[in-house]
Amino acid sequence: MKAGWIGGRRFDLAFFFGSALLAALVGAFALAVPRAIVPLFVAFLVLVDGPHLAATWARTYLDPGFRARRGRLLAGSLVWLLPGLAAWSITRVTGLRAPMDLFLLVAALWSFHHAVRQSYGVLAIYQHHARTALPARKTDRLFLHGALWLAFGLFSFGHPQNRVFLGLPADPPRFLAILGLGLLGLLLVATIAYGMYRRTRFRGEDARPLLYLLGPALGLQLFALFVVGSFEPLVPRPEDPEQAFMASTIVGGIVHGANYLGIVAAVSRRRFERNDERSLAALFGRRPLAAYAAFVLVSLGYLALNAARGVLPSLAPAPRGAALPDLFLVMYWGIFFHHYYIDQKIWHVREDQTLRYELGLEAAS
């Protein structure tokens, strides 16, 4: 793998840039053929979403060296499986839905924060390779975070289906609708203007960081929320926000999952290519296709969990809100809480020289 790239030029073009093109094509296909949305969602769970979770476990729990160094983290992080079970238990005992609703609100916010954080992480790696000027790094960070969270807020409170789920009228008051459209227009104009400003103000710099920011990190998310999302729900009579926004989830999730799988593959390759360790993690690191096949196999269980919690139409084991689907629902989010927590602990390049090498940020010592 060449310096200056996360995994190599063709590797990066496929995982970090090409994934956005693939996601856009999938979104367009879902809009053209709405009846395909559930099969597309199943394929997304098995081929992208599940494998990106499994990649975290392979990078941590299957690596003997990591277990030796960070065993306390691996054991302690399992506590994140408990909040959902606590919310479920309180709801069952009291009959009040509020604990579950609060838990799901936290899940939605943490999920989006996690996606924003990963996008900035990949951007920061490209900024390092490009030797982006410090002022540009700071403005990139502020613009990316601000734009993504503004988009999330506009979508959450502006889409009619979201408003219904929030207990609000589907159509907002006229002044709020005008304000929302104005802010969306401002966001789109600001994105174009920021791209022009960055190219003019920092002329001559490597274009990769800006292309990643405006494309996979931001542009694709705006496409998922405000182009694909404007036609949702594609599933007839959705029972919850997940069913209502399956296509948007797929489009954004493809980029997020492909980026993560790319990062883990590149890191694992560099970690194990120079030694003869015989652990399962080392085998996966040297043979990424075998690793991916194993992740897909594991994801069949992940698909079963999603079916059990009722996200796939007509496959719920009991009516929505019943004890069993809710139990599987909190188990699902507990797995993701665990993923989010571990993920924010294992990618600190400033404190880990080995990780800097594995990400291609510096030569081997």
Per-residue pLDDT of the chain (365 residues; tens, 9 = 90+): 445 788 888 999 999 999 999 999 999 999 999 999 999 999 999 999 999 999 999 999 999 988 999 999 999 999 999 999 999 999 999 999 999 999 999 999 999 999 999 999 999 999 988 888 899 999 999 999 999 999 999 999 999 988 888 888 888 888 888 999 999 999 999 999 999 998 888 877 888 999 999 999 999 999 999 999 999 999 888 888 889 999 999 999 999 999 999 999 999 988 888 777 888 888 898 999 999 999 999 999 999 999 999 898 877 666 676 888 899 999 999 999 999 999 999 988 777 777 888 887 775 54
- Among all chains, which residue has been given the structure tokens 């405000």? 226
Whether residue 87 lies inside any domain: the answer is: yes
Whether residue 88 lies inside any domain: the answer is: yes
Whether residue 290 lies inside any domain: the answer is: yes
Whether residue 328 lies inside any domain: the answer is: yes
Please count the structural domains in the chain. Answer: 1
Closest CA to 259 of 215, 299, 305, 227: 215
Q: Do the Cβ atoms of 55 and 260 come closer than 8 Å?
A: yes
- Among all chains, which residue has been given the structure tokens 């496959």? 315
Whether residue 4 lies inside any domain: the answer is: no
Q: How many residues does the chain have?
A: 365
Whether residue 363 lies inside any domain: the answer is: no
Angle, alpha carbons 208-214-215 (nearest 5°): 80
User: Considering the entire predicted model, what is its pTM?
Assistant: 0.92
The span from the CA of 140 to the CA of 210, in Å, is 8
Whether residue 79 lies inside any domain: the answer is: yes
Report the C-alpha dihedral over residues 347, 349, 350, 351, rounded to 10 degrees. Answer: 70
The answer for residues whose C-beta is within 8 angstroms of residue 266's C-beta and 6 or more apart is 1, 6, 7, 11, 358, 359, 360
The span from the CA of 64 to the CA of 159, in Å, is 47
Whether residue 152 lies inside any domain: the answer is: yes
Range of the domain at 42: 9-358
The span from the CA of 220 to the CA of 115, in Å, is 13
